[in-house]
Structure 1
Amino acid sequence: MVNVTKHGVILRKTELGFENEGVLNPAAIREGDFVHLFYRAVSKGNHSSVGYCKLKGPLTVQDRSTTPLLVPEFDYELQGMEDPRIVKIDDLYYLSYTAYDGLNALGALAISTDLQHFEKQGLIVPQITYEDFNRLAEIKGLINEKYLRYNEHKRDFEPPGKKAYLWDKNLIFFPRRINSKLCFLHRIKPDIQILVSIDHLQELNPEFWQNYFLHFDECIVLAPKYAHEVSYIGGGCPPIETEKGWILIYHGVCDTLKGYVYSACAALLDLEDPRKEIARLPYPLFKPEFEWELKGEVNNVCFPTGAALFDDRLYIYYGAADERIACASVSLPELLAELTQNTTKHE
């Protein structure tokens, strides 16, 4: 098994109004000796904005803003901006996040050239009802019945005059173009899906998504496989490029007598065609075991969302019990070696 070092909590909630209920699930990007964290800050009433702090090295907080960096401005994010991830592609930073309007949770994007000023691009995942999704996705055959279990019921909560859409979260870009194309992961429960075929964001129109769902079975890159992820999985950190493939740190969820348990997991995807799974750990990379992971706003949660590489050591930043931010680290060569010992058998 891979040796994991847990470094404990590095960021906690404060008495400031925008983050007095919790800080969690940070985007992370390394620039020189510093790591920039863009984290979900939660205020009373479960309203989320994006807070910011800068680390010196992988673990030491040097600066922390006393005001949110990004706040909800538009109807589609009225209740909050949640669970950001960040990558740099060419000369542009892509900050993806879940926009929540109180009913719908959908992937949105903001871009920046300097990590200080961000321009919101709006929702970039489809706004589609479960009924329409199911109709399109099943044209080529029945889909996993868990899609119905996790998604269809949301129509029961529709307020007058408002549509309930298929929740599409965990929007995560790859940190470079692949074969000149932008590529991103997203998640419609219970699997992780992938999109690898656009030159520009403007291509993501209703016609594009209709065609996408007609070929939905070809877009599932990872599905639950092992006991610790049997309920559902979702994207975690942006993929990490290695000579053997893209390392994907994701979250796996298992329903237990104590409720859902969220663990950090690892897989390896093909460099040139990341739709191909090369390997996957048959056990969690790490799971809740300490007080800060076991007890909080949501118990039993390790939710990885950002990573930074220092020398050969990968530091993974994660939400702990949906209330605080913690960090764990692994040797990247050791993780890669362990993954390659657990290659995926394809039918």
Structure 2
Amino acid sequence: MNHNTKAQNVIQVKKEGIIISKTDLVFESDSVLNPATIKVNDDLYLFYRAVQKGNFSSIGLCKLSGPLTVAERYVQPVLSPLLDIESQGMEDPRVVQIDDLYYLTYTAYDGVNAMGALATSANLVDFTRHGIIVPVFSFTEFKNRAERSGALNEKYGRYAHDHIQIRKGKKVLLWDKDVVFFPRRINGQLYFLHRIKPDIQIVAINELADLTKAFWNNYCDHFSDHIVLAPKHDHEVSYIGSGCPPVETDQGWLVIYHGVHDTTTGYVYSACAALLDLNNPKIEIARLPYPLFAPGTAWELNGVVDSVCFPSGTALYEDTLYIYYGAADSSVACASVSLRSLLNELLKFKIDKP
């Protein structure tokens, strides 16, 4: 069933306001945005993308006492570019804890290519970098493999740079961003979402070592089997992307993602919500037919990039789900919602099984 995209939003979402803004410190003098969040004991760690002049990104850290109060903010990045693949930026982090290890994913940007990478830590202080964990293909290589399992949505080509082979001396590759791990193993496997525009794809592996060239060859040969969410409603018609790490609930995995639609004044990024099956998250259970929240305040409508709500982290305090997001690519903001109310609303839009 494809529900009317004009359905009314009955969920009460509170815009809590800006949590942190840029400072005069060099590493975050241009903007701060798109945070990862994780609760550890009484602290809420907030890893954020910090941008300095010239669009060079590193990852900053502040700790919150409760969901909204900044208790400590570091004056230097906790992670800065070291590898060639991230020479111009470590962007848009997300973080989860699986067993005794923290998985912090980010987009590695070398000035030409933007691709999902991973760092792990046992203590959120010392990190081991694992490099790129998404497929390393040119768009043409990807397309040739993906079309073995059926025609590829023409939008994949629209967002590619296949007419450019080399830029700044580097091979132009398929952009694959927004890598987000599920916060526990499912049936013994690690799962993560990633995004090759315009859809969100899903990966299941036994261990990180499984992510070999042969694995990705086979994955792309059966690419259509791995698309978990595709644009469906007006507010996400251009493309969608992974957002916050999935939240485990009694009704399924709650996925807060971003949906994008093009307008005469540019793209508009909204926060969206869907439910995936607990035991098989490749199955979509339900999806809101309207944005969970959209740009509406001054700090969301006007900034480095106008009209952006980019959700990337959550924290649950009793029944209140706090959603942390980049606002207009300029600051880190927060919105809150009743988790139970959100689930109840989502279940009104369950997807009929064929």
Specify whether residues 142 and 88 from structure 1 end up closer, same or farther in structure 2 by C-alpha distance, changes over 3 A only: same
- Superposition deviation, residue 37 in structure 1: 0.4
Contact map agreement 1:279 1:339 (CA 8 A) in 2: yes
Paired position in structure 1 for 2:167: 159
**Hey, what's the Cα distance between the residues in 1 that align with 2:55 and 2:200?**
26
**Hey, what's the Cα distance between the residues in 2 that align with 1:149 and 1:331?**
38
Instruction: Read off the aligned partner of 2:318 and give its amino acid letter.
Output: D
Paired position in structure 1 for 2:250: 243
TM-score by length of 1: 0.98
- Superposition deviation, residue 346 in structure 1: 4.2
Paired position in structure 2 for 1:213: 220
Tell me whether 289-298 or 159-168 shows the greater mean CA deviation: 159-168
Paired position in structure 1 for 2:275: 268
| Residue 186 (structure 1) aligned with residue 194 (structure 2) | yes
**Hey, what's the Cα distance between the residues in 2 that align with 1:33 and 1:278?**
33
| Residue 22 (structure 1) aligned with residue 28 (structure 2) | no
DSSP 3-state at the match of 2:167? coil
- Superposition deviation, residue 258 in structure 1: 1.4
Q: Deviations over 1:71-101 (max 9, x none)?
A: 0001000000000000000000000000000
- Superposition deviation, residue 343 in structure 1: 0.7
**Hey, what's the Cα distance between the residues in 1 that align with 2:75 and 2:165?**
35
- Which consecutive residues of structure 1, in runs of 5 or more, have no partner in the other structure? none
Paired position in structure 2 for 1:331: 338
Q: Deviations over 1:285-314 (max 9, x none)?
A: 000000000000000000000000000110
- Superposition deviation, residue 119 in structure 1: 1.1
- Superposition deviation, residue 160 in structure 1: 5.9
| Residue 123 (structure 1) aligned with residue 137 (structure 2) | no
Specify whether residues 157 and 299 from structure 1 end up closer, same or farther in structure 2 by C-alpha distance, changes over 3 A only: farther
Q: Would you identify which runs of 4 or more consecutive aligned residues in structure 1 move more than 3 Å?
A: none
Instruction: Read off the aligned partner of 2:123 and give its amino acid letter.
Output: D
Aligned identity (percent) is 60
**Hey, what's the Cα distance between the residues in 2 that align with 1:69 and 1:102?**
21
Q: Deviations over 1:114-153 (max 9, x none)?
A: 11111111111111010110000001221100000011x2
Matches within 5 A, 1:4-23: 4-23=13-32
TM-score by length of 2: 0.96
Contact map agreement 1:34 1:58 (CA 8 A) in 2: no
Contact map agreement 2:112 2:168 (CA 8 A) in 1: no
**Hey, what's the Cα distance between the residues in 1 that align with 2:40 and 2:55?**
31
| Residue 64 (structure 1) aligned with residue 89 (structure 2) | no
Paired position in structure 2 for 1:300: 307
Contact map agreement 2:325 2:334 (CA 8 A) in 1: yes
| Residue 97 (structure 1) aligned with residue 86 (structure 2) | no
**Hey, what's the Cα distance between the residues in 2 that align with 1:141 and 1:61?**
50
Paired position in structure 2 for 1:148: 157
**Hey, what's the Cα distance between the residues in 2 that align with 1:316 and 1:326?**
8
- Superposition deviation, residue 158 in structure 1: 2.3
Instruction: Read off the aligned partner of 2:348 and give its amino acid letter.
Output: Q
Contact map agreement 1:85 1:96 (CA 8 A) in 2: yes
**Hey, what's the Cα distance between the residues in 1 that align with 2:168 and 2:80?**
26
- Which consecutive residues of structure 2, in runs of 5 or more, have no partner in the other structure? 1-9
Specify whether residues 30 and 289 from structure 1 end up closer, same or farther in structure 2 by C-alpha distance, changes over 3 A only: same
